[in-house]
Amino acid sequence: DIQMTQSPSSVSASVGDRVTITCRASQGISTWLAWYQQKPGKAPKVLISAVFTLQSGVPPRFSGSGSGTDFTLTISSLQPEDFATYYCQQTKSFPPTFGQGTKVEIK
Amino acid sequence: QLQLQESGPGLVKPSETLSLNCSVSGDSISSGNYYWGWIRQPPGKGLEWIGSIYYSGSTYYNPSLKSRVTISVDTSKTQFSLKLSSVTATDTAVYYCARQNLRGVGGYYFDYWGQGTLVTVS
């Protein structure tokens, strides 16, 4: 199985801050990576597929980058509705595996 | 608009079988354009993929759960189901059903999710 490791596990930030979350795969996955946002009590919502392709309706302040084993999700200017937990997922092969999550908290 | 809805008992006794259904509306399971999967999330923890099924009945299971999991599809009823046998307290989680993209573009990501249902083993 491909293991996904996210860092940090949590980050405290203020509205307007730039936030970067990192995801590392245990083996190369090219650009087979997705990012999700999950708010308390809600199902995850896919933000980005194929490393940098924003899903419909996702604000452009979200962006993704990377390839191979190292990836990042960047929120360019944090908004109040962005406080949530974010997960990466490798989409290359079965079993699909998720990172452990990064909680973005209000500073 | 695609909608998925989980249903099933919220409480299951240890050693028994957890059974959940996922009803799909707004898309056809039989279209063959997607997989249909189950993911779970223990309270306060991360996401764990359980397994997925194609409309033809082909299944893919998490190796860590494979011996206890059965996923089936009923295309006529536009639903798919999960059975997890011999449950213990560690199977307590919110269970989600979701539509899973084919590998073609973007890979095996999950684009639509049900709201989730909490199943407690006690």
Size of interface A-B (CB pairs under 8 A): 72
Q: How far is Cα B5 from Cα B69, in angstroms, rounded to an integer?
A: 20
Closest by CA to A66, choosing from A52, A48, A55, is: A52
A35 touches chain B (CB under 8 A): no
Predicted confidence band of residue B30 (pLDDT cuts 50, 70, 90): confident
Q: How far is Cα B75 from Cα B43, in angstroms, rounded to an integer?
A: 32
Q: How far is Cα A90 from Cα A46, in angstroms, rounded to an integer?
A: 13
pLDDT digits (tens, 9 = 90+) for A71-92: 999 999 999 999 999 999 999 9
Question: Is residue B97 pLDDT above 90, yes or no?
Answer: yes
> What single DSSP character describes residue A93?
S
> Which tokens go with A36?
């999700």
How far off is chain A from B98, nearest CA to CA, in Å? 10
The pLDDT of residue B90 is 98
pLDDT above 70: percentage of residues in chain B: 100
Q: How far is Cα A13 from Cα B78, in angstroms, rounded to an integer?
A: 43
Q: Searching chain B, which residue's CA lies closest to the CA of residue A40?
A: B44
Q: How far is Cα B35 from Cα B37, in angstroms, rounded to an integer?
A: 6
Contact A49 B113 (CB under 8 A): no
Contact A101 B96 (CB under 8 A): no
- Number of Cβ within a 10 Å radius of residue A18: 11
How far off is chain A from B70, nearest CA to CA, in Å? 15
The pLDDT of residue B28 is 87
How far off is chain B from A83, nearest CA to CA, in Å? 16
How far off is chain B from A32, nearest CA to CA, in Å? 6
Q: Searching chain A, which residue's CA lies closest to the CA of residue B106?
A: A50
Three-state secondary structure readout of B31-94: HCCEEEEEEEECCCCCCEEEEEECCCCCEEECCCCHHHEEEEEEHHHCEEEEEECCCCHHHCEE
Listed in sequence order, the residues at least 6 apart from B98 whose beta carbon sits closer than 8 Å to its beta carbon are: A43, B4, B36, B37, B38, B39, B110, B111, B112, B113, B114
Q: Searching chain A, which residue's CA lies closest to the CA of residue B38?
A: A96
pLDDT digits (tens, 9 = 90+) for A13-58: 999 999 999 999 999 999 999 999 999 999 999 999 999 999 999 9
A91 touches chain B (CB under 8 A): yes
Q: What is the torsion angle, in degrees rounded to the nearest 10, for the CA atoms of residue B18, residue B38, residue B98 and residue B115?
A: 40
Question: Is residue A1 pLDDT above 90, yes or no?
Answer: yes
Residue A43 has its nearest CB partner, among B49, B101, B116, at B116
Residues in chain A within 8 Å Cβ distance of B61? 95
Question: Is residue B8 pLDDT above 90, yes or no?
Answer: yes
